[in-house]
Structure 1
Amino acid sequence: MGGYTYIITNHKRGTLYIGVTADLERRIYEHREALTPGFAWKYGCTRLVWYEDHADIVSAIQREKSLKRWYRQWKIELIEKANPDWRDLYYELW
């Protein structure tokens, strides 16, 4: 079973939340609808700005842990390399 590592935000260059999931569409929907209180809910992080798919959930979790140790600027550069306009990628999942 595969997995995804993702970054959501509240606005361009705003608060960043890094997460991992086996079902990206469902998880981002949960963030958008505020179905699970937590950090992302508290800061209004609903915009999917970056994601990466992995062959298995273990790889996705390892990547999440790695990204969480990165400097903020490195995370911004990662997002802007793939998504320079910080558009919401949620609608592109289908």
Structure 2
Amino acid sequence: MSTETREFIIVGQDTGVSFTLWDVMPAPTDPTKRDMAIEEIGIDVHDAFGSCHTEWAATATGAVNQLLTDLREQSGIDDYALSEASNRDALTEDSEPR
């Protein structure tokens, strides 16, 4: 497993008590392609009442865990986690998000 971090794009829906993960993918490293991808994804998720986040981590699972930590702090809900409806297939590593 690499310890090098990279930016990941995380899309889903914040329900206020959990996060429904739709997809997570590495962000393009080219700044122009990154901006275009985030803009396109942002339009799509907005239309579906979702949200688009970026996190830096070594893995997709690590990025989702960081987002969940941030959402726990924002909500004040200690057990804020992924909802049962989350697309866990989007996580390619063996470890599950907390």
Please state which structure has a larger fraction of its residues in strand: 2
Larger C-alpha radius of gyration, 1 or 2? 2
Please state which structure has a larger fraction of its residues in helix: 1
TM-score (norm 2): 0.40
